[in-house]
């Protein structure tokens, strides 16, 4: 009897030890270690898979190629066990949606990214925008033939292609994280829903409609929106909101035909000078917007938000050195604080010609393209009203179509004003309980605190997640800050992809137990 009891005791000890070992194997640090080992063994295959995805042209207006992207991503999801489908509304590219259910999971995590990319000017690219190139660093560095790749890969190498950073990187990182967890036999702890949009770079004009039509399908505990860059220090960060945006095209009119500036200068109105004068009255050299009432609706930062900004790394000196700047427009405010304020960006001016094409002439028109970055509680509608009131007060006559000659004869300053699609800003409370499992799991995985930013400087329609779906949303970017986002030679640093894989895997494996 005593011998039998001794065996029960030994068996019990072994069971406890096995349980402790299993718990240790699934600790955040061990999950990260297992995922890293998988990645190290499969780096070449991961990069080649990503190159295949980046090879698909993905401008939202390119209907045929956008559909190829959606189909390819749907297949990638299905191969990993997702129930995938495409959500369609008239006039919009398909949204790729997928569900991956976990038996026994009580909470659902929703991940958003977009698979469309910005339009390109191929002449500005060092290689084809959809012909991915791996280089050993900067764009003028050595290219590494993909067919010769052998691991391990240098983490400072970069993949150059449209959407390499914005925003196919989270898609690749997430799917690779799932592969790594499966290979290591580490279970996903949450129910997972993914939502990959196909027209974010076109302003997401149909996103609200997709949300409203599929509100029940898109229920969950929290949205994790993966877009934008990590902190300039290369440390991971979370952002709790994003600025809104509205854009504006202005055309000012001068003489009905191009005039010799010697014969008619100082007499015929110069539309370029008139336009530049208007723009100069809209904002000052410190980026402060001079339009009356523009700041009236700006929501003040909370104590938590101010504290988060104060605790964020100082990056201004690094960026000034990196970008060759001797000054900034922020009147002394550091970058994390500056981006919590509205902005007026003159993104382009066109009038006449310059350099070898310059002519001694007065042009017939001058054009400017502007975007306003908005913060809570500003709305595009109110901004439109304030801007047009200001333009009218400067003596301009506003038209919506190209004016005929009679209109130009009757009004001293004719200006065509065309507004683009816009949306408001959003900001989730930093102490929202729904955000806690993401923060906790991420910090446990990384073994350090993450940078928390109240607002991302760029614009993402985060307000639709809170207003339409009534679900909190937090931003989790993974890509390098110096990625040439929206420009030529967009790129992704490999280490950022590797980090993203580990972060997503940690959240998938550990968020459930951190949910309250």
pLDDT in tens, 196-239: 999 999 989 999 999 999 999 999 999 999 999 999 999 999 99
Q: Facing residues of 399 across strands?
A: 416
245-280 pLDDT tens trace: 999 999 999 999 999 999 999 999 999 999 999 999
Asked if the model's pLDDT at residue 20 lies above 80, the reply is no
Beta bridge partners of 346: 370
Residue 317 phi, psi dihedral angles, 5° rounding: -65, -40
**φ and ψ of 402, to 5 deg:** -60, 125
- The fraction of the chain above a pLDDT of 70, given in percent, is 95
68, burial (CB in 10 Å: exposed 0-12, middle 13-18, buried 19+): middle
Q: What is the dihedral of CA 236, 239, 244, 247, to 10 degrees?
A: -10
Tens digit of pLDDT for each residue in 45-70? 999 999 999 999 999 999 999 999 99
CA nearest neighbour of 346 among 332, 326, 322, 367: 367
> For residues 171 and 193, what is the distance between their CA atoms, to the nearest angstrom?
13
Q: C-alpha 249: how far from its chain's center?
A: 23
Which superfamily does 23-240+428-514 belong to? Zn peptidases (3.40.630.10)
Among 366, 336, 205, 374, smallest CA distance to 276 is for 366
Residue 35's pLDDT is what?
98
pLDDT band (50, 70, 90) for residue 516: confident
Res 5 pLDDT > 80: no
What is the pLDDT, as a whole number, of residue 203? 84
The pLDDT score that the predictor gives to residue 9 is 41
Note whether 386 and 294 are within 8 A (CB). Answer: yes
Residue range(s) in the chain whose domain bears CATH number 3.30.70.360: 244-298+341-419
Residue 374 pLDDT level (bands cut at 50, 70, 90): very high
Kindly report, as residue ranges, where domains of CATH 3.40.630.10 are found in the chain. 23-240+428-514
CA dihedral over 41, 238, 450, 327, signed as positive or negative: positive
Q: What is the reported pTM?
A: 0.85
Query: Could you give the CA distance from residue 130 to residue 117 in angstroms, rounded to a whole number?
Result: 11
pLDDT for 326-340, tens place per residue?
A: 999 999 899 999 999
Per-residue confidence (pLDDT) for residue 219, from 0 to 100: 97
* Mean pLDDT computed over 2-17: 44
SS (HEC) of 205-217 = CCHHHHHHHCCCC
pLDDT of the residue at 421: 81
Q: What are 300-308's contacts with CB under 8 Å, separation 24+?
A: 301/340, 301/454, 302/429, 302/430, 304/429, 304/430, 304/431, 305/240, 305/340, 305/427, 305/430, 305/454, 308/430, 308/452, 308/453, 308/454
Compute the mean pLDDT over every residue in the chain, rounded to the nearest whole number. Answer: 93
Q: By C-alpha distance, which of 80, 103, 98 is closest to 180?
A: 80
Q: Cβ(492)–Cβ(132) under 8 Å?
A: no
Q: Which CATH class is domain 244-298+341-419?
A: alpha beta
* pLDDT value of residue 128: 96
Q: Provide mean pLDDT across the span 379-384.
A: 97
Taking 90 as the threshold, does the pLDDT of residue 26 lie above it?
no
């Amino acid at each position: 009897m005593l011998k039998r009891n001794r065996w029960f005791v030994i068996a019990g000890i072994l069971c406890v030890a096995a349980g402790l070992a299993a718990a240790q194997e699934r600790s955040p640090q061990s999950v990260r270690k297992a995922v890293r080992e998988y990645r190290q063994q499969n780096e070449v295959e991961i990069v080649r898979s990503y190159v295949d995805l980046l090879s698909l042209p993905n401008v939202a207006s390119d209907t045929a190629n956008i559909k190829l992207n959606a189909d390819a991503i749907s297949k990638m999801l299905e191969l990993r066990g997702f129930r995938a489908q495409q959500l369609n509304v008239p006039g919009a590219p398909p949204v790729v949606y997928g569900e991956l259910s976990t038996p026994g999971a009580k909470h659902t995590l929703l991940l958003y990214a977009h698979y469309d990319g910005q339009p390109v000017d191929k002449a500005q690219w060092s290689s084809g925008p959809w012909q991915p190139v791996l280089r050993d660093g900067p764009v003028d560095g050595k290219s590494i033939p993909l067919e010769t790749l052998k691991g391990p890969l240098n983490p400072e190498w970069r993949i150059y292609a449209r959407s390499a950073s914005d925003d196919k990187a989270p898609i690749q990182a997430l799917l690779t994280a799932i592969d790594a967890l499966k290979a290591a036999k580490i279970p996903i702890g949450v129910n997972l829903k993914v939502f990959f949009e196909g027209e974010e770079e076109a302003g997401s004009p149909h996103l609200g409609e997709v949300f409203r039509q599929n509100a029940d399908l898109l229920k969950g505990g929290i949205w994790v929106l993966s877009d934008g860059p990590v902190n300039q220090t290369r440390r991971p960060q979370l952002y709790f909101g994003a600025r809104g945006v509205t854009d504006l095209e202005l055309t000012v009119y001068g003489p009905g035909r191009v005039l010799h500036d010697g014969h008619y200068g100082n007499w015929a109105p110069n539309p370029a000078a008139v336009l530049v004068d208007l723009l100069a009255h809209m904002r000052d050299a410190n980026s402060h917007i001079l339009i009356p009432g523009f700041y009236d609706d700006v929501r003040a930062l909370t104590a938590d938000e101010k504290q988060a900004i104060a605790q964020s790394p100082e990056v201004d000196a690094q960026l000034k050195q990196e970008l060759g700047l001797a000054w900034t427009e922020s009147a002394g405010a550091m970058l994390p604080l500056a981006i919590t304020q509205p902005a007026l960006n003159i993104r382009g001016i066109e009038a006449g010609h310059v350099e070898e094409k310059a002519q001694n002439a007065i042009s017939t028109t001058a054009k400017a393209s502007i975007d306003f970055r908005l913060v809570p509680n500003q709305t595009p509608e109110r901004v439109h009203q304030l801007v047009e009131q200001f333009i009218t007060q400067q003596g301009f006559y506003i038209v919506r179509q190209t004016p005929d000659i009679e209109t130009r004869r009757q009004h001293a300053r004719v200006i065509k004003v065309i507004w683009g699609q816009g949306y408001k800003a959003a900001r989730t409370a930093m102490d929202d309980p729904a955000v806690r499992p993401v923060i906790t799991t991420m910090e446990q995985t990384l073994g350090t605190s993450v940078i928390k930013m109240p607002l991302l400087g760029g614009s993402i329609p985060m307000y639709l997640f809170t207003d339409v779906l009534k679900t909190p949303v937090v931003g989790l970017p993974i890509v390098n800050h110096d990625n040439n986002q929206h420009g030529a030679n967009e790129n992704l640093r490999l280490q950022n992809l590797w980090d993203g894989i580990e972060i997503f895997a940690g959240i998938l494996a550990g968020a459930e137990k951190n949910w309250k």
